[in-house]
Amino acid sequence: MGLVVEVRGMAKRRDVRRPAPGRKLGRPKASRPRRRKPARKLVEIEPDILDALTWLARDRMQDFSELAHEAFRDVLKKHRRPVTLKEQLVASARTPANDEK
């Protein structure tokens, strides 16, 4: 008479009548949206280009990751790829099927 809950690939059995330790009975609280952790990728850069990027970052008073973020945003914009949810919704509303009305 228990409820099976999947937690990170492991199944746990919890009694439905009793709350988990440290929790009260009643309505569940609204959950906050989960933030995604930033991804880390290893990229090989030629030494000459790395030196030029380091100097550019110093001149602009930015760090390397800020330069990389700006470059990736520009590439996505160049190829008309939406980044945020709002941009994705606007792009989906501009499909040719919606323009033929």
Q: Over the stretch 49-93, which tens digit does the pLDDT of each residue have?
A: 999 999 999 999 999 899 999 999 999 999 988 888 888 888 888
Are 76 and 88 within 8 A, CB to CB? no
- Residue 56 is predicted with a pLDDT of 94
Return the bridge partners of 14, or none.
3
CB atoms within 10 A of CB 53: 15
Structure token digits, residue 65: 């990751």
Domain locations in the chain as residue ranges = 64-101
- pLDDT for position 59: 95
28: pLDDT confidence band, cut at 50, 70 and 90? low
What is the predicted pLDDT for the residue at 26?
63
Q: How far apart are CA 41 and CA 83, in angstroms?
A: 18
- Helices of type H across 6-100: 47-59, 64-78, 85-93, 96-99
27 has pLDDT over 70: no
Maximal CA-CA distance, the chain: 66
